[in-house]
Structure 1
Amino acid sequence: MDVGVIGSGMMGQNHVRVYSELREVDSVVIYDVNADQAKKVASIHNADIAHTYEELFHRVDAVSLCVPTPFHYDVAMKVINAGIHMLIEKPICLSSGEGKKLAEQITEDLVIGVGHIERFNPIVAEIAQMISNPLYIEFKRHNPTSSRVTGSSVVEDLMIHDIDIILHSLGCSQVSVQAKGDDDIAAALCTHSQTLIYLSASRKASKKIRMVHIEQEDMTIQGDFMTQEIYVYRKPGQYTVERDRYIQENIVEKVLVSKQEPLRTELSTFLHSVKTGKKFPITPYEAIENLELCEQIKGMF
């Protein structure tokens, strides 16, 4: 299969790298309005370049769209009108309104997915199987300041990953929200039935953090998205006082997780969807729901 990548920034480079390593890919073609950047990335990964959208569309079966968010709608419409299968990097568009307009133009014969990459992190499926009646869920997603250009606030840039997991992996489909923040730091307290959900995201941190913490009556679950490790803490009911210090003994279990690069899984899944005609697991409508909750959170700042 011949695959294209539109945009050769940080995410575009990662897509080119992974595609060039997949057996099912015959060739990778890059298009970027910055031709020099496209040539640079192509030379590193032995890829080809296209000089126009038309040239790219004639040479590929599917594309990854990795341009800054403000350009998603216009570029995605070019791809749809050309009848090319597409994976759009999250968020689907700059606004849910644009996303809905885009979704209305997608025909049944096209595979259009959205790259909410953490859905393919192996700890997500593991945790989804483990939880039953969570009392409290907390996500932290903090980044040092980056020069990466996204065109999005911290909510659509970082927090949206955890919003997608809450809405579409952990079963919390309906939530109420209280939130505060700005373009670079945000926090939201959500409720789903009897579950409290706390989300925090930052682009001003000095330490990179990607974690989830879940409390149930029978256990506490802690997961790290970067190390792909899960620890479970259980209470054995044994408490002691030693030299006036309170001691609680816990049983700690480490869950065996089959570690894998989420982007590799995501792109392989996308190509399989193109080959079989099956829907990509993250549909445009799910991506729009994620963006609607982002907008609800930002509306409270």
Structure 2
Amino acid sequence: MTESRPHTLFSFGTLLDRRVQTSLFGRAVPTTASSLAGHATRPLAITDASVIATSGQDVHLTLERRIGSTVEGAVLRLTDQELAAADDYEVDDYVRRRVLLTSGETAWAYLDARPLCSAARIVIVGDSIAYGRCDPQGGWAGQLAAAHIASDETSHRVFNLAVPGSTLADVSEQTPPLLAPRHPDTLVVAAGINDSAVPLAASATDGDALPHISGHLDSLAATAQRYNARMVVVGPAWLDESRTGDFEGLRFTVERARTLRATLKTWCEDRHIDYLDLWEPLRDQPHLFVDGLHPNAEGHKELYRVLSAGYC
């Protein structure tokens, strides 16, 4: 009986070495020449002794985004066990994510574990916190844009398309037609607390948004993949429930926000999507809020400090 090889993995480095394959998988595995457009490679120093011993190299390659460039490589056809072995081989500097190959086939690839480090053109979608409400400097998104563009004014772009009041349902519906003219390689989905809100009016018919979160995220992931963009989900920040009260006809609670956060983290883990958690920086620090929901300028600085860990 032919052994099932359900996984396709794009490689451009040491995993194509037959000696490495034999060490990891016990034999050379089936491969097919392939390429990945919109990317280039850069060196990454390796310090893990076992990986250096297997590959014979202390510098490997990692991917970065670059319009007009193409990385040549091959697709490896792997079993469950072989994919797990490849995961164990890759150091913590890499994570396994989905990419769209030049052929139109989707495959796994090992990317930089810092999800914003290899980005060039970033689109941010989300709600009022991502929009930068209550901070004249544009909030964490504005600080991210300033740092990203300053690092390469020729190629780097940040497009903040966040709209105050948006839910993930709104974002999943509104985002697809906005991406084409911006040529994004990274889609940052700021999943704020609006999806955790409960309408105070007894006549409200919108229902509970929490059970529908996964469906909206699945839609956004499919949109990102069409553009070969890496999707990065930014989770909700802590809120000061004692100050929210009746907020524009909505009720926000820490319990509901925690449920949203857990749902987002589980969804990302199950689908190998990057998740950046903004809960802890503001937890139990009400002085960093304007109204219990929206961070002030100092609060946004704290959020950016965490987000910048996903940067270079």
What's the TM-score bracket when you normalise by the shorter of the two chains? 0.3 to 0.5
Q: Between the two structures, name the one with larger relative contact order (CA 8 Å, sep ≥ 6).
A: 1
TM-score (norm 1): 0.33
